[in-house]
Amino acid sequence: MSEPSLILNKITGEGWRSSYFVNSDGSLPPGGIVLQKTRHESYNLANDIRVIKIWLDEGLSTESSVTLGTDDFEPAKPVSILTKADKPPFPFGEYKPKHCIKAVFESINPVIPGGSKLKIVQTYILTEYSSNPAHEPSGSLSATRLFPLIQFSFPDENANTPTKSRVKTIRVDYRFDFNLDVFLHGATIEESFKKSPQGNGKYPTPLELAAIKKQPQQAGVFRDSDTARPILEGIFPEDVVFKSAEKPLVSEIISEGLDEGLNKTKNIFRWDNIHWWGGYKAAHIPSTPGAFHAIHLHWRWGLSLQEKPFRIFGQKLDSDPEFSGQPQFKGTSIGGPLLDSSISKQTIQFAIVKNELLPQDILQHSTAPFAKIFKLNKGNIPVDIKDGSDLVLYLSCTAKRQNDSRKFTGTFFIHGLFFAHDKEIKGFTIGSKDREYFNPKNPNPILWERYPSK
């Protein structure tokens, strides 16, 4: 049987440009809705954004997986008409949507014998570029938001469904092939490089120019401070806001953001956010906090940023961010992460790797356990990426059923990500534009698994 022909559907308007493929009959191909060549106001965001696989476990045997757009599901056709009901999930509903692409998938068979079929609603919401509502507690950043939502449910499950036939955990594996520009528009690459710390007054060599034109990417991982008080934490914003930082990553990494809803278990701390930018050596390292030309991916903010500013006789302290304590920064529990409250005990794992030595078929880039695919194909020692490279983010979200008497349903990735593309500014709350490594001070580049040290 010949492969079905594909038709390109375009998303344009309100500053956005993206696309996704459908089959000739309008249904979605393997992978479901895969956003490709996504840009905002001519600034590159991503080559490819997708869900690779969805893993299911009934708790008795090995995990099984399903793939959107395959014969695991009934054919699904996307809808791209923005309605009043199409807005980001709570507590992000005030960000104004400009595009919404949605598809509903229902499995052909029960995902576990004797149990229910699986229903998935895949939604991408793209918002306007604005600083209101605030994207970070200081309110100094304008950005647009992208919400890659996966809502799951088991519609046939009822009180008579045997416990052994109920899904106990569900895991969604995302892949983000970001491709941000190294420099803002308005000047040639040569002139921008000359003004950068890497150029230091000199134009790039032919080799440097060729490297920058390939759009190398850099990323950093951070753990927020829960106190974030000047003097007590330090005098510079990066010391006050962050407890740990690896910026940029010294090598490929496999790590965790949460373990069943917790960012700390026993003596293991986990990362709270990822920042991602187009970068070549030191030619463009954004401020943190700040990052005015970067992707921001926060699943948790530090406790002090989740609380309203401290006031004395109605006056806010100058050191307290203006918008801290607003709903978009507050977790489902005190100091907790930004998750759907119906699946609040989520585990977040991620890998940031060089885009090489993995199967050609992207739908095979997901294994049980999560880290297996990377070590199996890339070996036991990660590759150096600190000077920038063709990088890909893999992010895995797992929800665990907490109560057999309740419906197991929820939405992954409600926090979304936000994308800024403006010039850097200076200010009391704006951090360093240098490389930053602390807690640990010297991250080990030959270790895949790296975590905050305290």
Report whether pLDDT(233) > 80.
Answer: no
Are 236 and 431 contacting, i.e. CB atoms less than 8 angstroms apart? Answer: yes
> 2-6, 302-306, 328-332, 350-354: which has the minimum mean pLDDT?
2-6
Q: What is the pLDDT of residues 63-90, one digit of tens each?
A: 899 999 999 999 999 999 888 889 999 9
Strands 253-258 and 264-265 turn out to be unpaired
H, E, C per residue of the chain: CCCCCEEEEEEEECCEEEEEEEECCCCCCCCCCCEEEEEECCEEEEEEEEEEEEEEECCCCCCEEECCCCCCECCCCCECCCCCCCCCCCCCCCCCEEEEEEEEEEECCCCCCCCCCCEEEEEEEEECCECCCCCCCCCCCCEEEEEEEEEEECCCCCCCCCHHHCCCEEEEEEEEEECCCCCCCCCCHHHHHHHCCCCCCCCCCHHHHHHHHCCCEEEEEEEECCCCCCCCCCCCHHHHHEEEEEECCCECEEEEEEECCECEECCEECCCEEEEEECCCCCCCCCECCCCEEEEEECCCCHHHHCCCCEECCEECCCCCCCCCCHHHCCCCCCCCCCCHHHCCEEEEEEEEECCCCCCCHHHCCCCCCCHHHHHHHCCCCCECCCCECEEEEEEEEEECCCCCCCCCEEECCCCEEEEECCCCCCCCCCECCCEEECCCCCCCCCCECCCCC
Banded pLDDT at 313 (limits 50, 70, 90): very low
State the pLDDT at residue 319: 57
Entry field: residues in the chain: 454
Cα–Cα distance, 401 to 163 (Å, whole number) = 11
Q: What are phi and psi of 176, to 5 degrees?
A: -125, 115
Report whether pLDDT(62) > 90.
Answer: no
Report whether pLDDT(390) > 70.
Answer: yes
Share of the chain above pLDDT 70, in %: 95
> 62-66, 94-98, 444-448: which has the minimum mean pLDDT?
62-66
State the pLDDT at residue 310: 59
Report whether pLDDT(48) > 70.
Answer: yes
In terms of C-beta density within 10 A (0-12 exposed, 13-18 middle, 19 or more buried), how is residue 451 classed?
A: buried
Report whether pLDDT(299) > 80.
Answer: yes
> 276-290, 300-314, 328-342, 389-403: which has the minimum mean pLDDT?
300-314
Q: Mean pLDDT across the stretch 157-165?
A: 91
> 3-7, 69-73, 170-174, 298-302: which has the minimum mean pLDDT?
3-7
Q: Chain centroid to CA 143: how far?
A: 15
Cα–Cα distance, 169 to 273 (Å, whole number) = 24
State the pLDDT at residue 454: 74
Q: Mean pLDDT across the stretch 314-329?
A: 75
Banded pLDDT at 308 (limits 50, 70, 90): confident
Locate the domains of the chain by residue range.
6-165, 176-410+425-438
**Radius of gyration from C-alpha coordinates of the chain:** 22
> 48-62, 270-284, 347-361: which has the minimum mean pLDDT?
48-62
State the pLDDT at residue 60: 75
Average pLDDT, the chain: 93
Q: Mean pLDDT across the stretch 315-341?
A: 85
The neighbour count for residue 419, using CB atoms within 10 Å, is 27
Cα–Cα distance, 191 to 203 (Å, whole number) = 7
301: Cα within 13 Å, side-chain hemisphere: 25
- Residue 282: left if φ>0, alpha if ψ -120 to 50, beta else—which one? alpha
- Omega prior to 286 cis, within 30 of 0: no
Structure tokens at 332: 């489902």
Report whether pLDDT(1) > 50.
Answer: no
Report whether pLDDT(230) > 60.
Answer: no
Cα–Cα distance, 438 to 222 (Å, whole number) = 10
Cα–Cα distance, 325 to 358 (Å, whole number) = 42
Q: What is the pLDDT of residues 240-290, one digit of tens each?
A: 789 999 999 999 999 999 999 999 998 899 999 999 999 999 999 999 999
